[in-house]
Amino acid sequence: MSCAVDDEHDGRYRAPEGATGAKVLGVGNFGTAKLMQSTRTGALVAIKYLERGEKIDENVKRELVNHRLLTHPNIVRFIEVMLTPTHLAIVMEYAAGGELFNRIASKGKFSEDEARYFFQQLISGVAYCHAKGVAHRDLKLENTLLDGGAVPRLKICDFGYSKHSEIDSDPKSTVGTPAYIAPEVLKRQVYDGKTADVWSCGVTLYVMLVGKYPFEDKSDPRNFRSTITKIFACDYKFPSNVELSDGVKDLIRRIFVVDAAKRIDVSGIQSHPWFTTNLPLELLNVDVDVDESDMMTIEDIRAIVDAAKTPGASSMHANAAHAQEDIGFSGEFEGEFDDDDMHA
């Protein structure tokens, strides 16, 4: 598949060695993501291209600033952002293992040990985000990637709906993916994005264990109104044909609590006996020492995004952004309800 995207990066990135061109990793409303290679280090990177002009707004700036604040083994690393003649190019760590969603889809479900292995990493990354003041607000299997290792490491990605507790406005909009969304988010009132993240983590854990969404209407999986009704009622069951330990059932029950004030928080999850079983030592410490001497500054990011609001020399083909629909059956609000974000 070809895509009319300008790959000019002042010689810093090129198509991977031996390839006839840059591989397209994904195309969607967000733009186009391509696999490229750093000419300086030789490392493979993912570059997301957003067409310059009206698509570049304060939401894009917020996403990049929040992502830049986060450097953790379980978060896709932000590298830099650049201007090409036609696009804003966002350079990120390449996760060769693809989406966790695809791993689930191919296996049906995970064993409890495998689910715990990935859930421990997910919570480690989320705890770090929260410690840095960032709520993700769209945690789901499709936004968790895997590196290419034989024993894969989980990487959280896509901070497009993220909010910082000190920089951004208080969350009150309905954003995210219905199957994963917390009940308080659906009320269109101010809510705690971090507590809502915990609910989404619970949905991810349930799907890894069961292979189905907890609040999905089995007779009509794409009926989001029915899904939302079940979320408000916290109407879910543990299937009788799936063997689950009492420990993981207890943890899920503590997560799926409609009253957000009574829901277990990330620190509570981290101290839960089921979670701490076989916990890798490297996940015990949320604090990560980072050398920021060669990292792009927040000020530079803001300046480049502002410059990208000016249309480029030419534009990408109009239908490129719609060439591929979003994979998955969990649905997505895609931001049309995100009214408060325009005033962040």
Annotated catalytic residue within 10, 57, 113, 138? 138
Q: Is 48 annotated as contributing to ligand binding?
A: yes
3-state secondary structure the chain: CCCCCCCCCCCCEECCCCCCCCEEEEEECCEEEEEEEECCCCCEEEEEEEECCCCCCHHHHHHHHHHHCCCCCCECCEEEEEECCCEEEEEEECCCCEEHHHHHHHHCCCCHHHHHHHHHHHHHHHHHHHHCCEECCCCCHHHEEECCCCCCCEEECCCCCCEECCCCCCCCCCCCCHHHCCHHHHHCCCCCHHHHHHHHHHHHHHHHHHCCCCCCCCCCCCCHHHHHHHHHHCCCCCCCCCCCCHHHHHHHHHHCCCCHHHCCCHHHHHCCHHHHCCCCHHHCCCCCCCCCCCCCCHHHHHHHHHHHCCCCCCCCCCCHHHCCCCCCCCCCCCCCCCCHHHHC
Whether residue 138 lies in the annotated active site: yes
Binding residues: 48
By annotation, the residues acting in catalysis are 138
**Binding-site residue positions for ATP:** 48
